[in-house]
Structure 1
Amino acid sequence: MSGSELLPQALFEALKTCSKCRETKPDTAFHQNGEGGRRSKCRDCRAKTEKRRPRTALERRGPDLLRKYGITVEQYDAMHDAQGGRCAICGDVPAAGLALDHCHNTGKPRGLLCKLCNLGIGHFRDRADLLTAAAAYLSHHAPTA
């Protein structure tokens, strides 16, 4: 019988201190990171954090909706339902969800748009005259059948 067989296995495990709870635990109590090491928070602390984290993109954005635009998630949901889940401009139902369009001068919400329409009116600097000119341009240069 060798000397190592008499020692408890725990003596051979690496120990690590959790950055959250400050407990020293075997390194197996920590998830591996992508670099071959271990994460700084133990599995228990990470599990507690994960339970508190909002699950959907809209839940994560809730505080931003209130702070930036003065509306709640419930008000966003009401806008979404009123528009039938469709973009207010093109009518698409995007898989990525709808963005809250707002006036850049007042911050007041206007409606929900798909990403492409929201970016489009942003590129036209929210100016109706430019959008009208662009529509006239496209009509003038439309292919003839």
Structure 2
Amino acid sequence: MGEAVMAYQPHRHGVHATINGRTYPARYNSGKRVAFISLAAPENPDPGLFTWQETHELWVAQVPAGECDRVFRISPYARFFGHRCYVDGLTGESAELIYAGTDQDWAQRNGFEQHDRGTFRRTVPSTELYDYHEEQWDLLFDDWRVQTFGEAP
């Protein structure tokens, strides 16, 4: 039996839509129930889905929610010295963190700078993070619930 190979995703955040088995960064309008995708790629990634938008030089798609496999929001988190932090950016060498805990004194004592009320940021070596993971929220869940169980009485 062959050796299993684990493929890791790059750092992802924000809204994504999975269409025809492929996942793309997206914007989602819940009122119109439409996912909007725009990609700067040299070639059309899916000719049945994308069209060229000359003004912005992007491949664009507007996909009704019912035609999406998934629409979801990703929030990446990790622990830094035991404290939960949102990973706002990640390169091979460093990570841009937003402190996600409630101990603001700890954040300030550990080099986080306050950028606005309640938001403390710090750049750290990526090797100092552990428990890096994505939390995902299904933006189509309410639609699925209504389709499966009907409207609440």
TM-score by length of structure 2 reads 0.24
- Structure with more strand by fraction: 2
TM-score (norm 1): 0.25
Q: Which structure ranks higher in relative contact order (CA pairs < 8 Å, sequence separation ≥ 6)?
A: 2
